[in-house]
Amino acid sequence: MQKPPPFSNFLHPGYWPTWLGLALLSLAAWMPYRLQLQLGSILGYLTWLFGRERRYITEINIARCFPELDSQARAQLVKDTFRENGIGLIETASCWLKPVDWYLKHVNFIGLEQLNAARAEGRGVLLLGAHYSTLDLGGFFLNAVHPVAATYRPHNNPLFDAFMLRGRLSNCTAIFDRFDIRGAYKHLKQGHTLWYAPDQDYGPKHAVYAPFFGQQAATINAASRFANINHSAVFLIRQHRITGSTRYEIELSPFPPAFPTGSDLDDAVIINRTIEQAVRRHPAQYLWMHKRFKTQPGGKPESPYIHIKTPNHRLTTTQFQQMLEGATRLTEKDGVTDYLLADGLYLKKFPGQIGKRFYQRHQAKNLDYLSKAMRAKSIPCITVDNFFRIPASRQSAMTYFMPAGESLAVRNAAELPLEALAQFLAMLTHSGFTCLELEPQQLLIKDETFAIADPTGFREHTGPVTLAMANDSVTRFCGKLDLDHQDIKRFLSGYKTAALQLAHS
């Protein structure tokens, strides 16, 4: 069980902005309820307006999970989601700071008698929930009528984490760090009730891929292990604010008797399907800002969140040298060195520093930008994983994933699928990308498909590139492929045909 540190540990001026935020939250928690709803709506709107990356993640999630909605309906659901989560933040502060009596008269419990009956059997009860905007409020309500413990993920801000932990401990019998599996097991084994949310992406470890709203989602298998303890009874817990009223609803419904099935995959399918059905009741009250589909079988290149900010880390010279242990040095050109790391990732080392907070015209950032722009238009390209700054040596680096295939430079010209290559270059120019001096080693080939191994030197245009704009660069590239006259003529003819077809499609 977690124990929050004293607030006296956080008197350093670095925590003063957090103290101000907590003071404002505390003030909002004691406002009249109608005013809280209005304030939460405003907060949600401001987050939607200025939280560019969170808005982008939400848009991606809703577009993938609700393909039946038109663009206008999806945009409205995105706004509603931010509004509901803004209100949820005020509700959360209220339940951490206010007594439960006022709220209890506004909540309707469904299935509470089944939960109490299962608890009376003494085998422990596992409540599987999801990250709704009313997440903490639901635990607040439930603990008032049925003792419950919960798992949680510590916040990155230590002061806010201490504040959050205090609030949650006042509403639960116990709180367990998500890594404290043993403590949670022990709690269930003693016949108590544990609330657990398996609907977030914690990476591939201890997870299986199961559909969630029709999308492959890494689903942690801890819920099945929890349920096996004492053969604990398993319930779905759904909590929502009833739109347009001051009332709340908490529903507890038993999971299918066959759960857990003995198969992690089958259990994950059941969990995701059950949570999905609950989320569809009030979709705007779900935490769509979370990168639910970040982890994919093919790693970061398959993540749908292409335009999220690339992490930028600071390394000492020693740490960077450790990173290069076992690496194979590949090429060096214009001060940029390429390596193949021992873990299979590629690394480029650059002179100069990559800025952390503000945009800086560093070639690594430009390369990252072009890579994202290409991938967003379905052009296979490298995927940048992380940036690294090494201040002591005034150098920078980036790790990246390379698409499958071999360099076009090592292929025999007679073996090249010229028609497929012409169509690929036409797609590039139609998507708005040109490269004045495109080199064969910048392209990869696998079977008859192509990818960009190095977007350096490419330029993105605001619209499709005309034949006249691209003709010279394509002709020069053709000359670098060691083709005979007839093949060059056939290739250029195929490129023009493909470009015209795309322009008129």
CB 426 within 8 A of CB 499: yes
Q: Return the minimum-mean-pLDDT range out of 22-26, 98-102, 291-295.
A: 98-102
Query: Rounded distance, CA 235 to CA 221, Å?
Result: 16
Which tens digit of pLDDT belongs to each residue from 206-225? 899 999 999 999 999 989 88
Nearest to 268 by CA among 226, 204, 207: 207
Q: How confident is the model at residue 179, as a pLDDT?
A: 78
Which pLDDT band, with edges at 50, 70 and 90, does 458 fall under?
very high
Share of the chain above pLDDT 90, in %: 67
Complete domains list, the chain, with CATH: 7-285 (no CATH), 309-401 (3.30.200.20), 406-504 (1.10.510)
If pLDDT is split at 50, 70 and 90, which confidence band does 62 have? very high
Q: Which amino acid is at 294?
A: K
Return the minimum-mean-pLDDT range out of 265-279, 348-362, 408-422, 482-496. Answer: 348-362
Is residue 453 predicted with pLDDT exceeding 70?
yes
Query: Checking DSSP bridges between strand 207-212 and strand 248-254, what pairing results, if any?
Result: unpaired
User: What is the rounded average pLDDT of the residues 217-245?
Assistant: 89
| Residues sharing a CB contact under 8 Å with residue 327, sequence separation 6 or more, in sequence order | 339, 340, 341, 342, 347
Mean pLDDT of 308-325: 95
Q: Which amino acid is at 34?
A: R
Nearest Cα to Cα of residue 480 among 450, 437, 448: 437
CA distance 441 to 428: 16
Average pLDDT across the chain, whole number: 91
